């Protein structure tokens, strides 16, 4: 029996030594970052994936190795991973990978709707986005778009930047943009000035779309809104080129001719009084606010000033002079007469 004690002690010491060595390897594993390039890596965790399947995928890329250390870590630190696309940055430790996959902090992408786009342009941009999941045809029927419960979808998507994740569809983004527009329109309508010549928020949305196409200058939006409001109040025709261009559709080739201005269409505001039947573009919040709070004044006309802005006039005589100055290349000294 006494002879067995030294053997047992030796075996115990060997076992302890082996355990210590294994534990040391495990601790080194915990402190060793994944083998990632400086630019990092993006991985997509699909529905039904497990830690084992994710690590095995990373092993195929030479980033780590699926062995007993990963199995031990997953037992000591059990997590429920969430689906989505994750960005793995250089220096990421094994336990941090588990934390990341359990956090649901997936990669966000951006899709920007530009102020003044038409619905046709918006759909084209969605179709060309390499990440957005496509579920719509290139140019679907209007009845298939979010917001068509309001009628024509033109004007019903708010221009701004929307965050989305891989797997989100074109309809998801359109639905969010439509809800954002409805909220923005309601806010502008509730804060509108008294006595405006609109009976419904939709009419204000329509005028906002015209303002959006007439100027990109923040300082001019409310002034142009005031011109159009006074024209509507005085029963004048709006006589705005963007509505004519919209009505021409694909026939517009970059210039408006006298013949185009004389053609009687629902969108030709040179021929018809009042607002066109629908918006002509997607107006931003600034144009909605301008339509709700137009600037007071006497200006009834405006023309491009050749410098990216417009010259505003109160009388036809002043307007004709401004037009001549534009054609001759001289810049008017006075822009607005109050």
What are 158-180's pLDDT values in tens digits?
999 999 999 899 999 999 999 99
Of the candidates 107, 123, 156, which is a domain's last residue?
A: 107
Q: Is residue 1 part of a domain?
A: no
318: CATH: 3.30.160.60
Q: Both 88 and 114 in a single domain?
A: no
At 87, is the pLDDT very low, low, confident or very high (cuts 50, 70, 90)? very high
Q: Is residue 305 part of a domain?
A: yes
Q: Is residue 162 part of a domain?
A: yes
Does the structure show a pLDDT above 80 at 144?
no
Does the structure show a pLDDT above 70 at 142?
no
Does the structure show a pLDDT above 50 at 334?
no
Higher pLDDT, 41 or 139: 41
When divided into structural domains, the chain yields a total of: 3
Q: Is residue 258 part of a domain?
A: no
Q: Both 138 and 181 in a single domain?
A: yes
Separation CA 161–CA 156 (nearest Å): 15
pLDDT number for residue 327: 80
Of the candidates 166, 185, 204, which is a domain's last residue?
A: 185
Q: DSSP labels for 203-258?
A: HHHHHHHHHHHH---HHHHHHHHHHHHHHHHTT-----HHHHHHHHGGG--S---H
β-pairing verdict for 41-45 and 84-88 = antiparallel
pLDDT number for residue 8: 62
At 305, is the pLDDT very low, low, confident or very high (cuts 50, 70, 90)? confident
Of the candidates 185, 218, 240, which is a domain's last residue?
A: 185
188-192, 220-224, 249-253: segment of lowest average pLDDT: 249-253
Does the structure show a pLDDT above 90 at 130?
yes
Does the structure show a pLDDT above 50 at 15?
yes
Q: b/e for 11-46, b at 16 or more Cβ within 10 A?
A: eeeeeeeeeeeeeeeeeebbeeebebeeeebebebe
Separation CA 139–CA 250 (nearest Å): 14
* Structural domain containing residue 328: 297-338
């Amino acid at each position: 029996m006494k002879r067995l004690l030294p053997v047992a002690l030796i075996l115990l010491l060997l076992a302890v030594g082996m355990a210590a060595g294994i534990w040391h390897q495990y601790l080194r594993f915990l402190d060793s970052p994944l083998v990632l390039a400086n630019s990092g890596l993006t991985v997509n965790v699909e529905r039904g994936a497990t830690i084992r399947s994710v690590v095995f995928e990373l092993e195929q890329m030479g980033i780590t190795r699926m062995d007993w250390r990963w199995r031990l870590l997953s037992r000591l630190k059990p997590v429920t991973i969430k689906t989505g696309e994750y960005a793995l940055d250089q220096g990421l430790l094994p336990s941090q990978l588990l934390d990341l996959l359990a956090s649901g902090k997936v990669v966000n992408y951006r899709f920007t709707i530009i102020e003044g786009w038409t619905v046709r342009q918006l759909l084209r941009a969605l179709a060309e986005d390499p990440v957005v999941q496509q579920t719509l045809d290139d140019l679907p029927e209007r009845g298939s778009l979010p917001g068509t419960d309001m009628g024509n979808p033109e004007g019903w998507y708010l221009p701004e930047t929307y965050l989305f994740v891989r797997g989100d569809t074109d309809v998801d983004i359109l639905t969010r943009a439509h809800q954002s527009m409805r909220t923005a329109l309601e806010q502008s309508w509730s804060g509108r000035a008294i006595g405006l010549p609109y009976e419904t928020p939709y009419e204000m949305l329509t005028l906002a779309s015209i303002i959006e196409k007439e100027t990109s200058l923040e300082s001019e939006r409310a002034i142009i809104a005031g011109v159009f409001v006074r024209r509507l109040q005085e029963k004048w025709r709006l006589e705005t080129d963007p509505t004519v261009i919209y009505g021409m559709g694909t026939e517009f080739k970059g210039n408006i001719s006298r013949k185009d201005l004389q053609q009687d269409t629902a969108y030709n505001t040179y021929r018809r009084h009042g607002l066109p039947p629908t918006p002509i573009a997607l107006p931003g919040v600034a144009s909605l606010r301008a339509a709700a709070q137009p600037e007071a004044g006497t200006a009834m006309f405006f023309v491009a000033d050749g410098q990216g802005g417009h010259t505003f006039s109160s009388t036809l005589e002043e307007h004709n002079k401004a037009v001549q100055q534009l054609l001759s290349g001289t810049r008017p000294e006075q822009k607005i007469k109050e």
